[in-house]
Structure 1
């Protein structure tokens, strides 16, 4: 069911994909969907956990274990922006994920501890509760920038500079440090990394879907 959903979300987008079409693509009756998931949002929550669960770890593998936590944050969030810009279906998945009650709550809860690790140096006596509440704000910033498409007057570089500046300012990172990290982020070939992530996502969905069909047969 999950593999079928990923394929359909990538092909048609989240909103246009129905629970019946997911069940049909998985070779099951429409009612079978609700034996596995309460609704489409519940299925998306499972996918969001997969998408967000290892995002910082993957970025760490790219930059190395001793990378500046601020650089890790900058690259990870910038990659989300690139992926959203390069795939309309993934843009929709990200925006919906940051918007729906269960998926956004998962993001706030799972990200708060990471934010505390990244920004503790700049946030003084802020507690985990504070980072949870502030992530509501930074997630809103992320969702807004993701939803806005780049154009001739708002390039990808413009988007990343403004987005990262907003987030770093929210977490009280000094302006000089902000500029240093943003310049480092922009020097990385993020487009190539984002292209690979998208290709790997599609490949895994296709391979998993084919395997599921074979096993069912």
Structure 2
């Protein structure tokens, strides 16, 4: 439960999140207004601002859920195999696949890598992970260094996400080139890069990406239902 919110406030936020997910997937981020989100959640337009400061604040909450889920899925896929480069490769490749599934999803991710608060979350959240993943290749680098390098890799990621795939630039080409750029930034030797990228491309990324999208919607439903169940239990 978000700090300082009562069950009613949490229920309002979850209803807004669910409505936003559905509208973002249908219409994209830019075309979805806060009033439309509130109405889709069954509330007055002004109720949106009782739940979130603005649309960017709502997107930040979604980004936090999405990125955590992506790393969890990558870890589950690896199982006993604990190669940190594979974890990084699968997680970032999933983002590329997700953005190819629909234009609204592409826009949502590009916005996440563009807006101030969501960018800052991504940089801070991943800097610590990066310091573990690439420790062997940058032994003298500190968290500050990884934060700064993530600004660069985030820009690379945004650029690749925004670029549409086509006959001569297939999704496999995009993933390979993107990972080559990022691994080079973090000074991974080319032989190791090639081995990891080949292994990543053997994974059924499209199916996993589709499941991630479906799980995001399911989690939004479950979050709201859990709050309502708690409220009903207290009334009884």
**TM-score range, shorter-chain basis?**
over 0.9
Q: Deviations over 1:137-168 (max 9, x none)?
A: 00111111011010011111111110000000
Q: Deviations over 1:71-118 (max 9, x none)?
A: 110011001100110122111111100100000000000000000000
SS at match of 1:122: coil
CA distance in 2, matches of 1:63, 1:18: 39
What is residue 129 of structure 1 aligned with on the other side? 144
For these two proteins, the number of residue pairs brought into alignment is 217
Contact 1:3 / 1:208 at 8 angstroms: preserved in 2?
A: no
What are structure 2's unaligned runs of at least 5 residues? 1-15, 232-236
CA distance in 1, matches of 2:229, 2:164: 39
TM-score of the pair, normalised by structure 2: 0.85
CA distance in 1, matches of 2:150, 2:121: 11
Deviation at 1:213, TM superposition (A): 9.4
* Greater shift in the superposed pair: 56-65 or 79-88: 56-65
Match for residue 189 of structure 2 among 159, 166, 174: 174
- Residue 171 of structure 2 is aligned to residue 156 of structure 1: yes
What is residue 125 of structure 2 aligned with on the other side? 110
Q: How does 1:92-111 map to 2 (within 5 A)?
A: 92-111=107-126
- Residue 94 of structure 2 is aligned to residue 79 of structure 1: yes
What is residue 13 of structure 1 aligned with on the other side? 28
CA distance in 1, matches of 2:230, 2:81: 43
Deviation at 1:215, TM superposition (A): 10
Deviation at 1:67, TM superposition (A): 2.4
What is residue 187 of structure 1 aligned with on the other side? 202
Contact 2:18 / 2:220 at 8 angstroms: preserved in 1?
A: yes
CA distance in 2, matches of 1:86, 1:212: 31
Contact 1:7 / 1:205 at 8 angstroms: preserved in 2?
A: no
Match for residue 157 of structure 2 among 119, 130, 142: 142
Deviation at 1:209, TM superposition (A): 6.9
> RMSD in angstroms over aligned alpha carbons?
2.1
CA distance in 2, matches of 1:7, 1:17: 10
TM-score of the pair, normalised by structure 1: 0.93
Q: How does 1:197-208 map to 2 (within 5 A)?
A: 197-205=212-220
What are structure 1's unaligned runs of at least 5 residues? none
Contact 2:18 / 2:217 at 8 angstroms: preserved in 1?
A: no
